Structures are given as structure tokens and as C-alpha cells.
């Protein structure tokens, strides 16, 4: 008697709908044109735009470090007056002052920093910086200029003008300088205290721990690549040729929405609402439109956001992987940023509209809206599009690692910081795509992106405020 017939090795179920999808190669051409436009725009802005000569966050951080070092040296000398160990607390701000002093054109931000550093170094006020602030349309810039232009000031004027000084660290430095020029003594030395020293020590220790854990995670990631540990694949599942073309079209529509908002909506909103609120509303609108567009059929098929996000099962593990991914990316980002700054020394310092809002002395409402935008909405929107749409589409035509690299570099290239940070931002995109591919979910990449943005924002706020 013959045994039961063996089951077929190949499934006889109907082919999935993707097999019958139409091809649309022109979607890739359209997507390439959009990316080319955005990249060229960023390069032109970096070369011809009136951008700060120095990064404001880093400059204010250097001023704060110089004052902290002065404070520590003073305390050390009070304990051991005969100490022979001397450090130059002003070396970094002196180099920044030299950079600014050589600039032919200054932004108001540059001028404020140059005057503040010049005051700390007891140097004559720069006529170029004074003229920049005097010609500014912002009345607060005129107050800055008056502090340093050599005209007589008194404590009464300083107190009446106090509202015109931003509530950030640079504003406090210039306010202390104004009080000293009005006759009050020791104002500069009172800007920092033991709390600043304790906070700086905490940040240093925390940053060191992140770097150590990150190096371990990087090693594990490299081992997993060479060991060929089986990944889960793109969050949206297997991508057919037709689906890849469709995703390319969706990405092109996102870039069209993104560009349209930047060119049309932003100028309409600017000046009508507070900058932080305006940025938040624009980010919410872009996210809503993008999610809705994903549900609209293209070439006969929809790609709802839920499918693009992938699995959310065992979310605590996915969240933990996102945090470890942030640690792994931290040393990469730092090294690439430092290398790029050396390689592109002639380009303007990287700048971002968010940093400019912070540098102006943001209100609590603005700080809250900036946090919501940077740490919550931006990671969701950018991961949904770059790792949920673009990266899976590319995996159809190239190896996953190459798709991670290319999509990551494109992600970095459309950011407004300029070419200096393309590689560093590209590493964020690469690691995010790696997490998405290994887990089959956008949850880890969203968490990693959110933690990364939050860390950068917190550091900027700590330096500026």
C-alpha cells in the first residue's frame, strides 16, 4: 500500500497582489530630481548664504567653559596659592575671536559673540561688529552695541534695558559686562558657581558612559553583519518591483509636500505666530498629510502607515534596542562631525533654524514646542518616510547595507545644517535603517532618532541657557 501523498514543496496559494502590480520606473526619475534639487539648494545656501561664521551653541559653550575654568582656577589658587599648574582658560574663545575678527561680513549672532568674547578678553570693541548690530532692525541688537561702543552707561539704564537682553547664557554674560562697565564689580565672576561645575561633571560622566556602551554596541553590530545573523527584513515586508516603484512615488510626493511647505507655507506663517509654535504646526501638518497620502492608492494600491511601521509586538524590547542604537551611533556621529569640520574648514559653520530660535532667547512656550517638534514629531515623520518608504524601496535594487548607506546619506543631505554635517547625519540614517531591517519595525529607529534629537537639544539648551 502506498503511503499518503507528500505535500507540495511550493505553496499553491494565489500569488500576492504585489506580483500583479504595474511597473513605474519614472517614479525613480522624479524622486531623483527632487533629491537633486534639495541637495543643490543646500550646497548653494552653504556657499552663498549669509550664515554664521561660527556655531552659536559651540561658541557659547566655549565661553561657558572659559568662565568655568577661570572659576576652578580661582578656587584652586585659594586652596593652594603656590600651585605651579597653570592652564589658559581662554584658548578656545581666543581662537573663536580670531575667526570672527577675520570675517568680512558678520551676522548679528556673530557680532554678539565677537563683542562678548572681546569683553571677556579685555579687547577693544570691533567696529565691524558694532556696525552690524547698529544696522540691525532688532532693537535688542542696539542695546548690545551700546554696551560695548564706549559710550557712558549707568546702572539705571542697565536695569531699564534688562528686558532687552535674552534670558540665555550669552545674554547673562553681556548683562554682567554692562553692569561692570557701569561701575559694578565682580559681575562676570558671579555668572558661574558650584552648580555649573556639578552639572558639567554630570554631563561629562554621562557622555562617557554613552560612548563606552556605544562602542560595545558598534562591535556587536559589526559582528552580526559578518556573522550574517538573519534579519527580519524591511518593516513593510517583502518588496516587489511594482511596490518599490510605488514607494518611490510616495517618497517623491513627501518631498514635494516638504518643499512646498518650506517655500509657501513658512513665509505665510512667519511673523504671524511665535516661531516655535509655527514650526510645530507645520510639522504636524506635514505628518498628517504624509500619513493620509500613504493611504491613498497609487497605481491601484495603498500603503497604510501601519504597514510601513511594521511590527510593534514586544515593544519594550524594541524600545530598548532603539536606546542601544542611539549609544552605538553616538561615537560615529561625533567622529564624523569632527572629521568633516576639519575637511570643510572653509565652509560656514553648521546652523539650524531651531538653534537660531534657541539662540535668540526662547520663551518657555517656545522651548516646549521646540521639544515636541524635535524630539517627537520629526523622528516619527522622518523615520516613516526615509526608513519606512525610501529604504525598503531601495532594497529591491541593491544590497541592504548599500541601501542603508545611500538612504542615510540622502537623509543627511536634505537637512539645513549644510555639507559639514552630512556624514554625521548620514550615520544617524544608516544606524536607523540597520535597526529597522534587523527588527522589521520602525519602533527602534523612531526611539533612537528621538533620543538622538533630544540629546542634541538638551546639550544645546545646556550650553545656551
Q: What percent of the chain has pLDDT over 90?
A: 30
Residues 175-234 have pLDDT tens digits of: 888 998 888 888 888 888 888 888 888 888 888 888 888 888 888 777 776 665 688 899
What is the spatial distance between Cα 118 and Cα 109, in angstroms, rounded to a whole number?
14
The answer to whether the CB of 325 falls within 8 A of the CB of 435 is yes
Contact of 66 with 92, CB cutoff 8 Å: yes
pLDDT in tens, 77-103: 766 555 544 567 788 888 888 888 888
Within 89-185, where are the H helices? 91-101, 108-120, 127-134, 139-148, 155-160, 169-181
Q: How far apart are CA 354 and CA 282, in angstroms?
A: 14
Q: What per-residue confidence (pLDDT) applies to 222?
A: 72
3-state secondary structure of 254: helix
Contacts 24+ apart (CB under 8 A), 17-21: 17/301, 18/238, 18/239, 18/240, 18/242, 18/243, 18/301, 19/240, 20/242, 21/240, 21/241, 21/242, 21/243, 21/246, 21/299, 21/300, 21/301
Report pLDDT for 442. 96
Quick check: 106 and 100 in contact, CB under 8 A? yes
The C-alpha R_g of the chain, in whole angstroms, comes to 26
8 Å CB contact between 186 and 67 = no
pLDDT score at 152: 87
Which phi and psi angles does 212 have, rounded to 5°? -65, -50
Q: How many angstroms separate the CA atoms of 19 and 240, rounded?
A: 7
Query: In 3D, which of 131, 134, 71, 122 has the Cα closest to residue 93?
Result: 122
3-state secondary structure of 363: coil
- 2 vs 205, more confident: 205
Q: pLDDT tens-digit profile of 344-374? A: 777 666 666 666 666 656 677 778 888 899 8
Convert the pLDDT of each residue in 144-185 to its tens digit.
Answer: 889 898 888 888 888 888 888 877 888 888 888 899 888 888
pLDDT of residue 18: 45
Please state the pTM of the whole predicted model: 0.83
Higher pLDDT, 83 or 124: 124
pLDDT tens-place string over residues 422-457: 899 999 999 999 999 999 999 999 999 999 999 988
The pLDDT value recorded for residue 342 is: 79
Output the pLDDT for position 414: 86
Amino acid at each position: 500500500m502506498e503511503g499518503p501523498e507528500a505535500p507540495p514543496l511550493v505553496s499553491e496559494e494565489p500569488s500576492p497582489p504585489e506580483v500583479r502590480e504595474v511597473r513605474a520606473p519614472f517614479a525613480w526619475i522624479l524622486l531623483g530630481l527632487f533629491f537633486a534639487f534639495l541637495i543643490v539648494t543646500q550646497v548653494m545656501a552653504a556657499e552663498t548664504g549669509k550664515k554664521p561664521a561660527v556655531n552659536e551653541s559651540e561658541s557659547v559653550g566655549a565661553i561657558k567653559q572659559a568662565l568655568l575654568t577661570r572659576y576652578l582656577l580661582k578656587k584652586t589658587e585659594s586652596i593652594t596659592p603656590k600651585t605651579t599648574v597653570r592652564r589658559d582658560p581662554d584658548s578656545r574663545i581666543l581662537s573663536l575671536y580670531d575667526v570672527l575678527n577675520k570675517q568680512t561680513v558678520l551676522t548679528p549672532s556673530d557680532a554678539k559673540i565677537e563683542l562678548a568674547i572681546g569683553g571677556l578678553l579685555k579687547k577693544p570693541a570691533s567696529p565691524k561688529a558694532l556696525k552690524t548690530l547698529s544696522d540691525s532692525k532688532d532693537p535688542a541688537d542696539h542695546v548690545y552695541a551700546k554696551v560695548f561702543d564706549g559710550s557712558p552707561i549707568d546702572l539705571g539704564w542697565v536695569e531699564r534695558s534688562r528686558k532687552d537682553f535674552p534670558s540665555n547664557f550669552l545674554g547673562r554674560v553681556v548683562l554682567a559686562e554692562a553692569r561692570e562697565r557701569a561701575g559694578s564689580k565682580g559681575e562676570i565672576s558671579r555668572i558661574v558657581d558650584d552648580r555649573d561645575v556639578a552639572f558639567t561633571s554630570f554631563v561629562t560622566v554621562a557622555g562617557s558612559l554613552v560612548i563606552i556602551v556605544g562602542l560595545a554596541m558598534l562591535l556587536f553590530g559589526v559582528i552580526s553583519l559578518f556573522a550574517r545573523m538573519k534579519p527580519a527584513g524591511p518593516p513593510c515586508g517583502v518588496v516587489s518591483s511594482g511596490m518599490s516603484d510605488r514607494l518611490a512615488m510616495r517618497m517623491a510626493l513627501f518631498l514635494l509636500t516638504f518643499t512646498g511647505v518650506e517655500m509657501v507655507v513658512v513665509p505665510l506663517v512667519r511673523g504671524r505666530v511665535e516661531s516655535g509654535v509655527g514650526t510645530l504646526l507645520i510639522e504636524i501638518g506635514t505628518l498628517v498629510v504624509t500619513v493620509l497620502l500613504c493611504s491613498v492608492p497609487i497605481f491601484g494600491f495603498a500603503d497604510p502607515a501601519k504597514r510601513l511601521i511594521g511590527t510593534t509586538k514586544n515593544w519594550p524590547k524594541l524600545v530598548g534596542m532603539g536606546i542601544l542604537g542611539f549609544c552605538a551611533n553616538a561615537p560615529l556621529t561625533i567622529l564624523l562631525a569632527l572629521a568633516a569640520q576639519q575637511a570643510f574648514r572653509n565652509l560656514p559653520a553648521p546652523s539650524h533654524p531651531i538653534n537660531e530660535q534657541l539662540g535668540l532667547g526662547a520663551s518657555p512656550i517656545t522651548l516646549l514646542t521646540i521639544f515636541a517638534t524635535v524630539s517627537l514629531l520629526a523622528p516619527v515623520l522622518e523615520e516613516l518616510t526615509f526608513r519606512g518608504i525610501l529604504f525598503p524601496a531601495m532594497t529591491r535594487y541593491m544590497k541592504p547595507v548599500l541601501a542603508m548607506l545611500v538612504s542615510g546619506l540622502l537623509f543627511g543631505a536634505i537637512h539645513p545644517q549644510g555639507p559639514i554635517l552630512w556624514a554625521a547625519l548620514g550615520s544617524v540614517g544608516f544606524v536607523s535603517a540597520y535597526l529597522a531591517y534587523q527588527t522589521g519595525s520602525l519602533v527602534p529607529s523612531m526611539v533612537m532618532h528621538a533620543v538622538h534629537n533630544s540629546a542634541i537639544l538638551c546639550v544645546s539648551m545646556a550650553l545656551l541657557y
